[in-house]
């Protein structure tokens, strides 16, 4: 067949090739095309077909080359631009696909799919208005185009045009009653409207039609979560994980839900899910998952008492070795102990035993790779908990000799055995030894090297270059600074980061009462974090507020250096760190839309003075998130502190370690309550929890008075224990009672550990 552009195979030959594609191997068809190209070297149809096959095989380069040849031969054929545009779109080159679809539109102005594909490219680049116009044009060309109605509806949903979006999804379902995406998206509309009952019905309809389609179980789970049906939500997340195990939003939702989960039956699926969540950098705060993780590990391995010290003592070498090998096989446990302190007495006893066993038997363990892995993991655990485990005199003697042996080897240019290095690193940080900075660590100790050596070195550099504002001169400020310079708190590894949102979306998610709605129109909020610590707070906030710019200050240079290091590693670039005292912030002459100070004001000499300074920095419609200790929730802490009569601030790390060890075996109810806290399992956190150099506590009625004095209005509590809000609603079911501080005061009297962490709440300028 001869065309204007050259010879083409006859229609029957091309038809036979197309018919083979669903049945034959793509490679075989490529061979046939290659043979045909000897006779038809300029066949645009063969280049186009070949490009489609290479695209199906995932070879973007060869697919692109074929489509470009077709375009070169026939530049007025829109189909080829569309085909190449699809390749660019699938490889996330959205600017390239947009240009190609625009060019295709010139040649195919009435092609429905061209306009639709162009809309998809605009949508991926965030240009929702142009995307909507393209979808509308595709519907003008085909008023029964279901995907057009669906995609336009999703755009309108994102633009908060809820009713218009609902109409479009219903139109799609009128055309095809088996369109599962239509039911799913109707469910999203109803979820936006807080009509959770109808949303659940539509998500279930979608699942009935396409049970293996991604996101359906996730959306169902999210709606159950909104209804405080936490266990049902978690089960939905598990079903979604089986369908799609790399959904970032899903893993984040699972990470949050683990805080409430406890498992009493074995489930290797749950263990796999938790492990996957913990492996991600930003899906979960490990401390939130640790109790759930330990419960599933103990149930899966209860017959071999995985994380309990064996009945044999550490001098039974074969018994102890067998136990350690078994523990090292559990990937979830091995991952967990490298990420956060473990708030579990039995687990602490096992890790203390394991460290001692390894230390006492070093020479026998030189060729035990599984024990080396466990030893390295224990060293990382000890680093994150500030070497809190108690050691015995025999251990101290061996560690002292081990230290001497290692330093002698290094001085002679030799690298000590890996098990020697990991063992020493479970008692003392590697950064302490300058001679270790130049040695080549074996591959199995790379993580240990990074966390105990390279990162601390980076922090030293960042500390030296940290900008500062004013001098810290007040006595209490200096004492608090000294505590956090000695014990930066906490040494976190990973955290949960959610999808960034605008202020109005955050207000809905947090369930806040907004008095001055002009704050919701701020699209680029300026945020102050007054007391950012080691960066968990500043990073989470900077990520939460879309288009925000954050200034994070702290008294401690070591804490700031840690925060800045973690910020860099996460690629977050909208935070400025500053070494400063809240008492000096007046001189900044700046104002902010959002000011957050969590767990800071109650460590000042006069919390009201600090709060007044922050209040003056708040814009007229601005909002504050404040965290203050509850006197009721901390009565046991108060009882413990009173026994020391103010001398607790003089305790060194060794004394604090010994004190905590005695407290663990105490029958005193107050000590028991203090040690039940997750913060009692690292040295820095234990000092911060129970023996801080400066602490004030508050009641809800005092907070109510302070808000009145500061001309602020209460907007709602932030509760990390979701079940408490559920319980409050049962006691006070009337509408808006969650914004009545007097009701919360009554509730706390009957549930005194409601605010065990602290009162966290939002408030807004009353003028």
pLDDT, average across residues 682-709: 93
Residue 343 has pLDDT above 90, yes or no: yes
pLDDT for 72: 72
pLDDT range class, residue 1, cuts 50, 70, 90: very low
406 close to 418: Cβ distance less than 8 angstroms: no
Give 599's DSSP letter: S
What span, in angstroms and rounded, lies between the C-alpha atoms of 167 and 280? 39
411, two tokens: 């001085």
CA distance 633 to 738: 19
pTM over 0.85: yes
Omega before residue 490 within 30° of 0, cis = yes
Report the topology of domain 214-300.
Answer: 1.25.40
Provide the percentage of residues in the chain whose pLDDT is more than 70. 92
Reported CATH class of domain 2-208: mainly alpha
Residue 218: count of CB within 10 angstroms of its CB = 23
**What span, in angstroms and rounded, lies between the C-alpha atoms of 415 and 552?**
42
In sequence order, the β-bridge partners of residue 550 are 527, 575
Domain extent listing, the chain: 2-208, 214-300, 307-443, 474-632+697-765, 636-690
| Cα–Cα distance for residue pair 434/166, rounded to 1 Å | 65
Mean pLDDT along residues 335-347: 94
**Per-residue tokens: 158:** 């994102």
Query: For 515-559, how does the pLDDT look when each residue is reduced to its tens digit (9 = 90+)?
Result: 999 999 999 999 999 999 999 999 999 999 999 999 999 999 999
Cα distance between residue 397 and residue 545, in whole Å: 52
From CA 530, how far away is CA 302, in angstroms rounded? 46
Question: Which CATH number applies to 474-632+697-765?
Answer: 3.40.50.150
- Does the pLDDT of residue 28 top 80, yes or no? no
Over residues 221-227, the mean pLDDT reads 95
* pLDDT tens track for 299-324: 876 544 667 776 655 678 898 899 89
In this prediction, residue 38 carries a pLDDT of: 64
Question: What is the 3-class SS of 310-356, one letter each residue?
Answer: CCCCCCCHHHHHHHHHHHHCCHHHHHHCCCCCCCCHHHHHHHHHHHH
How many other β-carbons are positioned within 10 Å of the β-carbon of residue 736?
9
Cβ burial of 467 (10 Å; 0-12, 13-18, 19+) is exposed
Q: What pLDDT shows up at residue 629?
A: 97
Asked if residue 747 lies in contact with residue 728, where contact means CB atoms within 8 angstroms, the answer is yes
Say what angle helices 345-360 and 317-328 make with each other, to 10 degrees. 120
Q: Is the pLDDT of residue 211 over 90?
A: yes
| Cα 410 from Cα 698, distance rounded (Å) | 54
- Same topology for domains 2-208 and 214-300, yes or no? yes
Tell me how far apart the alpha carbons of residues 48 and 71 are, in angstroms, rounded to a whole number.
Answer: 9
Q: Using CA atoms, how far apart are residues 613 and 610, in angstroms rounded to an integer? A: 5
Quote the tokens at residue 260: 């409430």
Contact between 761 and 717 (Cβ < 8 Å): yes
Selected residue with higher pLDDT from 169 and 79 = 169
């Amino acid at each position: 067949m001869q065309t204007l552009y050259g010879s083409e195979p006859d229609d029957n030959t091309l038809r036979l090739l197309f018919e083979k594609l669903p049945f034959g191997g793509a490679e075989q068809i490529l061979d046939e095309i290659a043979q045909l190209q000897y006779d038809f070297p300029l066949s645009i149809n063969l280049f186009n077909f070949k490009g489609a096959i290479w695209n199906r095989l995932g070879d973007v380069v060869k697919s692109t080359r074929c489509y470009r040849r077709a375009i070169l031969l026939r530049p007025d054929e829109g189909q080829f631009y569309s085909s190449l545009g699809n390749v660019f779109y699938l490889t996330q080159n959205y600017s390239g696909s947009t240009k190609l679809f625009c060019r295709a539109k010139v040649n195919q102005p009435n092609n429905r799919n061209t306009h639709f594909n162009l809309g998809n490219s605009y949508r991926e680049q965030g240009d929702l208005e142009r995307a909507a116009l393209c979808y509308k044009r595709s519907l003008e060309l085909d008023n029964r185009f279901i995907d057009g109605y669906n995609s336009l509806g999703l755009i309108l949903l994102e633009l908060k045009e809820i009713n218009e979006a609902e109409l479009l999804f219903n139109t799609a379902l009128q055309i095809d009653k088996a369109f599962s995406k239509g039911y799913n998206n109707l469910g999203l509309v109803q979820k936006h409207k807080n009509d959770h009952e109808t949303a659940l019905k539509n998500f279930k309809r979608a699942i009935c039609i396409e049970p293996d389609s991604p996101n359906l179980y996730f959306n169902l789970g999210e709606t159950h979560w909104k209804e405080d049906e936490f266990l049902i939500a978690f089960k939905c997340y598990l079903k979604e994980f089986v369908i799609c195990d790399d959904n970032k939003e899903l893993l984040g939702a699972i990470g949050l839900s683990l805080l409430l989960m406890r498992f009493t039956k074995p489930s290797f699926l749950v263990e796999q899910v938790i492990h996957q969540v913990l492996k991600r950098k930003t899906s979960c705060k490990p401390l939130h998952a640790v109790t759930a993780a330990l419960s599933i590990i103990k149930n899966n391995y209860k017959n071999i008492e995985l994380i309990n010290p064996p009945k044999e003592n550490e001098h039974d070498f074969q018994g102890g070795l067998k136990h350690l090998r078994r523990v090292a096989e559990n990937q979830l446990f091995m991952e967990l102990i490298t990420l956060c302190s473990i708030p579990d007495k039995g687990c602490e006893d096992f890790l203390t035993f394991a460290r001692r066993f390894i230390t006492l038997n070093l020479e026998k363990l030189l060729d035990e790779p599984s024990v080396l892995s466990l030893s390295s993991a224990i060293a990382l655990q000890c680093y994150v908990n500030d070497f809190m485990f108690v050691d015995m005199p025999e251990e101290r003697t061996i560690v002292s000799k081990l230290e001497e042996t290692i330093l002698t080897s290094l001085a002679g240019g030799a690298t000590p055995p890996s098990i020697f290095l990991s063992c020493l690193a479970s008692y003392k940080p590697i950064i302490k030894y300058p001679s270790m900075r130049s040695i080549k660590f074996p591959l199995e100790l790379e993580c240990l090297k990074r966390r105990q050596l390279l990162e601390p070195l980076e922090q030293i550099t960042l500390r030296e270059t940290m900008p500062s504002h004013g001098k810290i001169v007040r006595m209490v400020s200096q004492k608090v600074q000294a505590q956090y310079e000695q014990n930066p708190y906490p040494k976190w590894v990973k955290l949960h980061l959610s999808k960034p949102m605008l202020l109005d979306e955050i207000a809905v998610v947090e369930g806040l009462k907004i008095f001055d709605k002009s704050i919701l129109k701020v699209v680029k909020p300026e945020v102050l974090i007054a007391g950012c610590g080691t960066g968990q707070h500043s990073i989470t906030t900077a990520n939460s507020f879309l288009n925000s710019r954050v200034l994070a200050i702290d008294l401690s240079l070591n804490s700031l250096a840690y925060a800045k290091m973690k910020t860099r590693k996460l690629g977050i670039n909208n935070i400025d760190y500053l070494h400063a005292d809240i008492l000096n912030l007046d001189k900044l002459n700046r104002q902010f839309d959002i000011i957050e100070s969590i767990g800071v004001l109650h460590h000042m000499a006069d919390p009201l003075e600090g709060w007044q300074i922050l209040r003056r920095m708040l814009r007229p419609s601005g909002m504050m998130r404040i965290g203050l200790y509850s006197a009721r929730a901390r009565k046991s802490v108060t009882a413990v502190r009173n026994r020391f009569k103010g001398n607790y601030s003089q305790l060194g790390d060794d004394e604090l370690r010994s004190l905590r060890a005695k407290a663990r075996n105490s029958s005193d109810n107050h000590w028991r309550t203090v040690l039940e806290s997750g913060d009692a399992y690292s040295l820095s956190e234990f000092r911060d929890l129970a023996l801080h150099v400066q602490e004030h506590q508050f009641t809800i009625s005092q907070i109510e008075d302070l808000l009145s004095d500061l001309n602020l209005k209460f907007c709602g509590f932030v509760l990390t224990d979701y079940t408490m809000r559920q319980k409050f609603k049962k006691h006070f079911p009337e509408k808006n009672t969650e914004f009545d501080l007097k009701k919360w005061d009554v509730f706390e009297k009957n549930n005194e550990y409601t605010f065990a962490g602290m009162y966290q709440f939002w408030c807004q300028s009353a003028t």
